[in-house]
Structures are given as C-alpha cells and as structure tokens.
Structure 1
Amino acid sequence: MRTDQQDSIQELDVRDVDGEPFGHIMDALDDIGESEALRLVNSFEPVPLYGVLTENGYEYDADQVADEEWHVTIRPE
C-alpha cells in the first residue's frame, strides 16, 4: 500500500448515512483525482467494500482508531 504524504485527502464520514452508504462512497471516489485519496470514516471495518475497490483499481489502508471508528484511506493505483 502506498503512503505518499503529498496526496490530498478528502474525507467522507458515512457513520450517519441513512441506509446503504455504498453509493455515497463510489460517488466520492469518482470525484478524487489521481494524486488524491479518500479517507472513509465508518463505524465498522467495511470488508465487503475491499473487493470492489480492488476490482475498480483502488488500493486501501484500514485502521481501527476507536472502538466503533474505522478509517480507510483509498487511493487510485
């Protein structure tokens, strides 16, 4: 996984999204550039998302930062 510090990071907190956040996540990913990243903030580790990210040319790093808070930083490969 890449850890370039020069990347601009956009943040998307989906903990309060009513319903399925998948569409919000994919829309946010459509809006980031090649040298940007998206930090997804979620209340659980979004394991089902990882396969979709890989299939669509993204890499990711996941960190649990609190009991019910995960940060997943997603970048284009």
Structure 2
Amino acid sequence: MTTNPAPAERTLDVREIDGEPFDDIVAALESLGENDRLRLIAPFEPVPLFEVLEARGFTHESNRQEDDLWHVLIEHA
C-alpha cells in the first residue's frame, strides 16, 4: 500500500516583493505539488488574479484578515 505524502502549505507574502508580484506568484504555483496549497498574503484582495488561477486549473478561497490584509488559499482544482 502506498501513501500520498501529506499536503504542504507554502506561503508567499507579496507585501515583501518590490514591484509587480505576478511572476513570483506564477513561479510559486508552478512549484506546487498536486496536493500542495499556496497561502498568498496580500494588502488587498487580488481579484484580477482569480481569473488567471481558474484558467490554470486552480481554485481559491480569499479571507480578509484586516482592512489591508488578505489571505488567499490556492490549490489545484
């Protein structure tokens, strides 16, 4: 009997990135294993990203933590 490794959750805080974070987000998504998740931390809800995620086969759940703090949990659909 083989067991699947436990899903890993990686975190990417885009508040720490100088400039446009899109390439960093895409690189993080491409490195995700099939059962892994990415927790994106952003200063706003990244609504334009959601269509990109869907087109690439990911689902997301966004949660507002504070006025200028959002967590978006991203995983393979």
- Give the TM-score normalised by the residue count of structure 2: 0.89
CA distance in 2, matches of 1:70, 1:7: 22
Residue of structure 1 in register with 2:3 after alignment:
none
- Cα deviation for residue 37 of structure 1 reads 0.3
Indicate the structure (1 or 2) with the bigger Cα radius of gyration: 2
- Cα deviation for residue 22 of structure 1 reads 0.3
Q: Which runs of 5+ in 1 are unaligned?
A: 1-5
SS of 2:18's equivalent in the other structure is coil
SS of 2:16's equivalent in the other structure is coil
The alignment of Structure 1 onto Structure 2 pairs a total of residues equal to: 72
Residue of structure 2 in register with 1:33 after alignment:
33
- Detail structure 1 runs of 4+ shifted over 3 Å in the superposition: none
Aligned pairs (5 A) from 1:1-77: 7-77=7-77
Q: Which runs of 5+ in 2 are unaligned?
A: 1-5
SS of 1:34's equivalent in the other structure is coil
RMSD (Å), alpha carbons: 1.0
CA distance in 2, matches of 1:60, 1:43: 17
CA distance in 2, matches of 1:76, 1:53: 9
Could you give the per-residue CA deviations for residues 32-54 of structure 1, whole angstroms, max 9, x where no partner exists?
10110000000000000000000
